[in-house]
Homo-oligomer: A and B are copies of this chain.
Amino acid sequence: MHISELDTPAVLIDLDIAERNLRRVADYASAHKLRLRPHTKTHKIPAIGRRQIELGAAGLTVAKTTEAEVMLEANPQELLIAYPVVGPKKLERLASLAGKTDISVSVDSVEAARGISEAASAHGVTVGILAEFDAGLHRVGVAGAEALLQLVRHIATMPGLEFRGIAFYPGHIKDLNTGIGAELGELDAAVTSATELLELNGYQVRVVSGGSTPTLFQSHCVRRLNEIRPGTYIFNDRNTWLSGACSQDDCAVSVLTTVVSTAVRGQVIIDGGSKTFSSDRCVVADVAGFGYFPEAPQAILTKMNEEHGFVSVAETDRNWRVGERVRVMPNHVCVVMNLHPEVYGIRGERVEQIWTVKGRGKLQ
């Protein structure tokens, strides 16, 4: 099928770029002896998870129990739920998953660990636990090596749990482009001291898991880190590009849209708004717009309603017509994938792959 046969809005994935992104990170991980456990929240498609495993991923990462159920189809050796699993229905699902594959969960509280322990014990299964450490982002994770040790002491005594190591999310580290954020050296020091304190107290820290896409290629500088969980790297997006973590040529995703109105001077309306792109803004301050137009870089997606993308075209030198199509690189690909029932893998102008986004809307 030719791209022109697709209805819009349609998410296009450049297959060659995505494959190159996958291989680059697999090679990096291999070169630095880092286990790669990609976060599948970016693509939400089991067939792509399978491809990541074929290229050397040791396992896969998800955020929710319902996502884990979907990702079982990729037949991973190990699944990490990088999110505190809390509440009876989720614990039921978790115990059932643990009967099907090797499951770990990252937790930052005794309460969450106790819930998992009780569910695992009741079902006669074992769940791996990574103790979540706040490396500076202040999202989840206990603060400081001493608090981490206290948490691990509790985990180690609970039936049905197997303490495997620690996890953190380095979302606060200095952006390569803007230079805003914390120093990598501070992260390295914090991870080292936390790991050493646990070891000093007799705990084997088999897994030290971190690694987001923006900091991906600096992962080897955190000495004790031995596992990375990047997600966005497979497709990349405008935010990844503008933060300096990839080049424009590494962005595999765009959204094909149609111009539906040119009635207002200096502006066109495209048939993609917040229901197509989400309302996620550009992470780099002073950069305008909810997306980037590779074919018309002067166009700015200034505003969105659910179905209307307001594009300022005053600075462009083309004559915009109702019915023409234009591609938009989204700010944040993960949320875009969650909004689309299907996405399309392309090579040049050919649609070679139609994927159902099986993990879309898996909230629990």
Residues in A lying within 8 Å of B, measured CB to CB: 7-9, 41, 63-64, 83-84, 86-87, 89-90, 108-109, 111-112, 115, 132, 134, 138-143, 258-264, 267, 269, 271-272, 274-276, 278-281, 305-308, 310, 321-323, 334-335, 338-341, 360-361, 363-364
Are the CB atoms of B143 and A263 closer together than 8 Å?
A: yes
Q: How far is the CB of A142 from chain B (nearest CB, A)?
A: 5
Task: Choose one: B83, B87, B305; the contact of A139 (CB below 8 Å).
Answer: B305
Task: Choose one: B111, B259, B307, B360; the contact of A323 (CB below 8 Å).
Answer: B111
Q: How far is the CB of A86 from chain B (nearest CB, A)?
A: 5
Are the CB atoms of A323 and B361 closer together than 8 Å?
A: no
Task: Choose one: B7, B264, B338; the contact of A275 (CB below 8 Å).
Answer: B338
Chain B residue nearest in CB terms to A110: B322
A-B pairs with lowest CB-CB distance, top 7: A7-B89, A279-B279, A111-B322, A140-B261, A84-B260, A7-B364, A108-B263
30 contacts between A and B (CB under 8 A): A7-B90, A7-B364, A8-B87, A41-B307, A63-B307, A83-B271, A84-B322, A86-B258, A86-B271, A86-B323, A87-B258, A109-B261, A111-B321, A112-B260, A115-B323, A134-B264, A138-B267, A139-B261, A140-B264, A140-B308, A141-B263, A274-B280, A274-B335, A278-B278, A279-B281, A279-B335, A306-B334, A339-B363, A360-B361, A361-B361
- Per DSSP, chain A at the interface is loop
Once the chains are docked, how many angstroms separate the CA of A260 from the CA of B86? 6
Residues of chain B lying within 8 A (CB to CB) of residue A269: 139-140
Among A90, A264, A308, max chain B CB count under 10 A is at A264
Are the CB atoms of A322 and B83 closer together than 8 Å?
A: no
Q: How far is the CB of A81 from chain B (nearest CB, A)?
A: 11
Q: How far is the CB of A83 from chain B (nearest CB, A)?
A: 6
Once the chains are docked, how many angstroms separate the CA of A334 from the CA of B308? 14
Are the CB atoms of A140 and B263 closer together than 8 Å?
A: yes
Once the chains are docked, how many angstroms separate the CA of A323 from the CA of B88? 10
**Additional pairs, 13, CB under 8 Å, beyond known A109-B261, A139-B305:** A7-B89, A7-B90, A8-B87, A86-B271, A138-B267, A139-B261, A139-B310, A140-B261, A141-B261, A143-B264, A276-B363, A279-B281, A340-B363
Residues of chain B lying within 8 A (CB to CB) of residue A89: 7
Chain B residue nearest in CB terms to A334: B306
Chain B residue nearest in CB terms to A357: B361
